[in-house]
């Protein structure tokens, strides 16, 4: 028997507003409302609003919570001051990626602090199992906030203009990758300067029962300057242009963070997490493929699973591809042999039987003007 | 074309059959439902040209959207008598008029048996509602 799909607090709103609902990691989520391109362009040019409540939110309390999370992820997080957020990888004993996560250290109203880890929807059960295999010290408690809280991403050059009137925290003075508890539309929540689109913006965590009211209020105000609700389709094209990996595509249990170009998220010399030695060894292992960007001419799109070739044969495979709405050309991410991975190299992609030339380029494809 | 008078394939092509060229000619396109499902079209390419013999089920081209690529299938067997190459330069025609100016190929039917496997409008609408 198939399990019924899980619904976010905004699921009914999505259906009532034309959201084309799909099964994403067991959740019923909107892939688009009207058009991926329109939602993508709204995010690049004004504001896109995304329901990301399906992502797992795990809270950790206790004096050793930071050290405990530190022992699971590739990035040093134990030394993060309250208010800091860090992107890191949870890795298996071979250094393969179990998930890519955000670790928050948050100050509470009483002057203390607690931690939160935001995990991919499709990996939540797996990470909960991993936590069982790596028991927490008795001083640490964990609570799964995924269903009690909703999460909304507000992304784009006008995101702060839209949000600031309803958020008590001073958003313009918050640095990227910081977050805090604050009042959102008069109710307690969390705001962070984070995102997955390559644009400026924030992510909100609000009570599940408040989600629709806040969403509708923001959208009603935002339409005056071009804000739109945006689905997972636009989220995918935006993150791809921004060169950000997506778990299950660029990241999996067989690939180390360094192969994926995520050295910034692996603290040098940190060895208290699973697979640390294997991760560091992968840096110099020429036999391991590396993640690259590919840009093509024309309009035919390299898709996941298409082969990357040279005159000498197959050298790798595409993990994500799209026709870029911003750059108006086909783009892809792919894993290839190191010898073929230098920017400027020309390779071919087998697009449904046609060998199309593709240039290896540095990621990201798109970077916003700052 | 009036969509209610057309025949439909499970793969969302529509077919209009008319007497012409001393036999029966099928005009083929894709339905409004297919166009709306694809959305954000970026590209169409035809793999057949006038004069080619095709069998029901053969691909005659592909249509690419931001999200995915889809094959286009011949609903009947026949000889290609026309290909709407100009669609590639005005893809919006597919959204504006999928049952008229959005036609893709015309086939002179050599074997009518495949026509019997196509759906009428009501059956096709029912299939779409279930997708």
Phi, psi of A190 (to 5 degrees): -130, 135
For the segment A34-93, what is each residue's pLDDT rounded down to a tens digit?
Answer: 999 999 999 999 999 999 999 999 999 999 999 999 999 999 999 999 999 999 999 999
**Residue A274 half-sphere exposure toward CB, CA atoms < 13 A:** 19
Peptide bond into A364 cis (omega under 30): yes
Any idea what the Cα angle at residue A93 is, between residues A67 and A362, rounded to 5°? 90
Q: How confident is the model at residue A369 (pLDDT cuts 50, 70, 90)?
A: confident
Nearest residue in chain B measured CA to CA from A232: B67
**Using a CB-CB distance cutoff of 8 angstroms, which residues of chain B are in contact with residue A36?**
39-40, 66-67
> What integer is the mean pLDDT of A115-139?
97
CA distance B15 to B104: 10
Phi, psi of A193 (to 5 degrees): -90, 75
What does DSSP assign to residue A219? H
Q: Give me the pLDDT at residue A238, please.
A: 98
CA distance A119 to A105: 15
The overall average pLDDT reported for chain A is 97
CA distance B71 to B58: 10
Inter-residue contact A46 to A157 (CB < 8 Å):
yes
**Using a CB-CB distance cutoff of 8 angstroms, which residues of chain B are in contact with residue A353?**
none
CB pair distance less than 8 Å for A322 and B68:
no
Percentage of chain B modeled with pLDDT above 70: 100
Inter-residue contact A227 to A49 (CB < 8 Å):
yes
CB pair distance less than 8 Å for B66 and A303:
no
Strands (E), chain A: 6-7, 20-24, 27-32, 47-51, 56-61, 85-91, 97-107, 113-119, 141-144, 149-155, 179-184, 187-192, 201-207, 227-229, 290-296, 307-310, 313-323, 330-336, 346-351, 354-361
**Neighbour-count burial of A299, counting CB atoms closer than 10 A to its CB (0-12 exposed, 13-18 middle, 19+ buried):** middle
> Is B59 in a helix, a strand, or coil?
strand
CB pair distance less than 8 Å for A325 and B68:
no
Q: In what order do the strands lie in the sheet with A113-119?
A: A85-91, A97-107, A113-119, A56-61, A141-144
- Window 23-52 of B: residues touching A by CB (8 A cutoff) are 39-40, 42-43, 45
Cα dist from A111 to A78, A143, A184, A254, whole Å: 18, 20, 20, 42
Q: Give me the pLDDT at residue B20, please.
A: 85
> What integer is the mean pLDDT of A7-18?
98
> What integer is the mean pLDDT of B114-121?
94
Compute how many other C-beta atoms are within 10 angstroms of the C-beta atom of residue A129: 12
Q: Give me the pLDDT at residue A312, please.
A: 82
Q: How far is A64 from chain B (nearest CA, A)?
A: 44
> Is A182 in a helix, a strand, or coil?
strand
The answer to whether ipTM exceeds 0.90 is no
Phi, psi of B58 (to 5 degrees): -65, 150
For the segment A257-309, what is each residue's pLDDT rounded down to a tens digit?
Answer: 999 999 999 999 999 999 999 999 999 999 999 999 999 999 999 999 999 99
CA distance A294 to A361: 6
Q: Give me the pLDDT at residue A370, please.
A: 77
Record the pTM. 0.95
Q: How far is A322 from chain B (nearest CA, A)?
A: 6
CA distance B37 to B17: 25
Q: Give me the pLDDT at residue B39, please.
A: 87
Nearest residue in chain A measured CA to CA from B66: A323
For the segment A206-258, what is each residue's pLDDT rounded down to a tens digit?
Answer: 999 999 999 999 999 999 999 999 999 999 999 999 999 999 999 999 999 99
> What integer is the mean pLDDT of A159-186?
97
Q: Give me the pLDDT at residue A328, please.
A: 97
Cα-Cα-Cα-Cα dihedral of B120, B126, B130, B131, to 10°?
40
- As beta bridge partners, residue A135 has none
pLDDT, greater one: B130 or A177? A177
H or E stretch including B128?
helix B121-129
pLDDT at A1 over 70: no
CB pair distance less than 8 Å for A237 and B66:
yes
CA atoms A311, A315, A321, A324: torsion sign: negative
Cα-Cα-Cα-Cα dihedral of A336, A337, A339, A341, to 10°?
20
Q: Give me the pLDDT at residue A132, please.
A: 97
Measured between CB atoms, does B101 come within 8 Å of chain A?
no
CB pair distance less than 8 Å for B43 and A325:
no
CB nearest to A299's CB, from B39, B40, B42: B42
For the segment B12-35, what is each residue's pLDDT rounded down to a tens digit?
Answer: 999 999 998 789 999 999 999 999
pLDDT at A362 over 60: yes
Compute how many other C-beta atoms are within 10 angstroms of the C-beta atom of residue A142: 17
Q: How far is B92 from chain A (nearest CA, A)?
A: 14
**Using a CB-CB distance cutoff of 8 angstroms, which residues of chain A are in contact with residue B64?**
299-301, 323
CA distance A62 to A152: 27
Establish, for the pair of chains A and B, how many residue pairs have beta carbons separated by less than 8 Å: 36
- Window 52-81 of B: residues touching A by CB (8 A cutoff) are 62, 64, 66-69
For the segment A178-191, what is each residue's pLDDT rounded down to a tens digit?
Answer: 999 999 999 999 99
Q: Which residues contact B110 (CB under 8 A, 6 or more apart)?
A: B53, B77, B78, B79
For the segment B72-112, what is each residue's pLDDT rounded down to a tens digit?
Answer: 999 999 999 999 999 999 999 999 999 999 999 999 999 98
Q: How far is A307 from chain B (nearest CA, A)?
A: 16
Nearest residue in chain B measured CA to CA from A328: B42
CB pair distance less than 8 Å for A299 and B39:
no
Q: Give me the pLDDT at residue A260, please.
A: 98
CA distance A229 to A218: 10
CB pair distance less than 8 Å for B43 and A37:
no
Q: Which residues contact A223 (CB under 8 A, 6 or more apart)?
A: none
């Amino acid at each position: 028997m198939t399990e019924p799909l899980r619904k976010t607090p905004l699921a009914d709103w999505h259906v009532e507003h034309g959201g084309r609902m799909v099964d994403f990691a067991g959740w019923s989520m909107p892939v688009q409302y009207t058009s991926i391109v329109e939602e993508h362009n709204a995010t690049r040019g004004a504001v896109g609003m995304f329901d990301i409540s399906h992502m797992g939110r795990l809270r950790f309390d206790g004096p050793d919570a930071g050290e405990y999370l530190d022992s699971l992820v590739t990035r040093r997080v134990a030394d993060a001051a309250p208010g800091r957020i860090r992107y890191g990888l949870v890795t298996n004993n071979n250094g393969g990626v179990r998930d890519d996560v955000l670790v928050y250290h948050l100050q509470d109203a009483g002057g203390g602090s607690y931690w939160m880890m935001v995990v991919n929807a499709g990996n939540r059960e797996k990470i909960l199992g991993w936590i069982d295999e790596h028991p927490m010290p008795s001083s640490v408690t964990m609570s799964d906030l995924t269903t009690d809280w909703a999460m909304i991403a507000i992304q784009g050059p006008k995101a702060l203009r839209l949000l600031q009137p309803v958020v008590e925290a001073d958003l313009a003075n918050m640095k990227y990758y910081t977050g805090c508890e604050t009042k959102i539309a008069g109710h307690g929540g969390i705001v962070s300067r984070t995102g997955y689109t390559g644009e400026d913006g924030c992510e909100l965590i609000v009570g599940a029962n408040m989600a629709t009211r806040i969403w509708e209020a923001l959208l009603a105000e935002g339409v005056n300057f071009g804000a739109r609700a945006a689905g997972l389709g636009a989220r995918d094209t935006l993150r791809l242009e921004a060169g950000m990996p997506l778990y299950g595509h660029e990241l999996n249990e067989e690939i180390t963070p360094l192969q994926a170009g995520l050295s910034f998220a692996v603290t040098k010399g940190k060895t208290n997490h699973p697979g640390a030695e294997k991760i560091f060894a992968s840096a110099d292992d020429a036999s391991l493929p590396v993640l690259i960007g590919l840009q093509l001419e024309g309009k035919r799109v390299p898709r996941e699973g298409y082969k990357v070739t040279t005159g000498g044969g197959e050298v790798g495979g595409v993990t994500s591809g799209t026709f870029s709405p911003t750059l108006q050309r086909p783009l892809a991410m792919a894993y290839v042999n190191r010898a073929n991975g230098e920017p400027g190299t020309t390779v071919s992609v087998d697009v449904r039987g046609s060998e199309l030339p593709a240039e290896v380029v540095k990621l990201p494809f798109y970077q916003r003007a700052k | 074309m009036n969509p209610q008078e057309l025949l439909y394939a499970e793969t969302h092509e529509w077919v209009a059959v008319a007497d012409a060229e001393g036999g029966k000619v099928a005009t083929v396109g894709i339905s409004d439902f297919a166009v709306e499902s694809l959305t954000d079209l970026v590209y169409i390419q035809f793999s057949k040209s006038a004069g080619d013999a095709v069998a029901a089920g053969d691909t005659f081209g592909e249509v690419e959207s931001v999200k995915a690529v889809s094959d286009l299938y011949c609903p009947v067997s026949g000889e290609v008598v026309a290909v709407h190459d100009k669609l590639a330069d005005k893809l919006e025609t597919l959204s504006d008029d999928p049952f008229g100016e959005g036609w893709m190929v015309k086939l002179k039917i050599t074997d009518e048996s495949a026509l019997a496997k196509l759906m009428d409008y009501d059956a096709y609408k029912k299939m779409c509602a279930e997708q």
